[in-house]
Amino acid sequence: MAKQMITIHNLATGEVIEREMNAEELAQLKVDAQAQAKRDAEQAAKDAAKQAVLNKLGLSADEIALLLGAN
């Protein structure tokens, strides 16, 4: 597995430091990835439920937007 790197930009000096992530940063990266996967799954479930309703109504998302006056 490739080593996870972190890049630090010091805007005041223009210095750029690139280094390997430490254990704490790697743990946070894993937590963040799991949280993002959960949000993605929740959004996919919402999208599927929305599409199921549209299918029952026989309307497209564009047609619903027109009916509701949404842009």
Strands 5-9 and 16-20, sheet pairing: antiparallel
Write the pLDDT tens digit of every residue in 43-67. Answer: 999 999 988 998 999 988 888 889 8
29 close to 37: Cβ distance less than 8 angstroms: no
Domain spans in the chain, listed from the N-terminal domain onward: 5-68
**Residue 71: per-residue pLDDT:** 59
Residue 19: name the closest of 7, 30, 9 by CA: 7
For 14, the token pair is 């223009």
| Residue 27: per-residue pLDDT | 96
pLDDT tens profile 12-45: 999 999 999 999 999 999 999 999 999 999 999 9
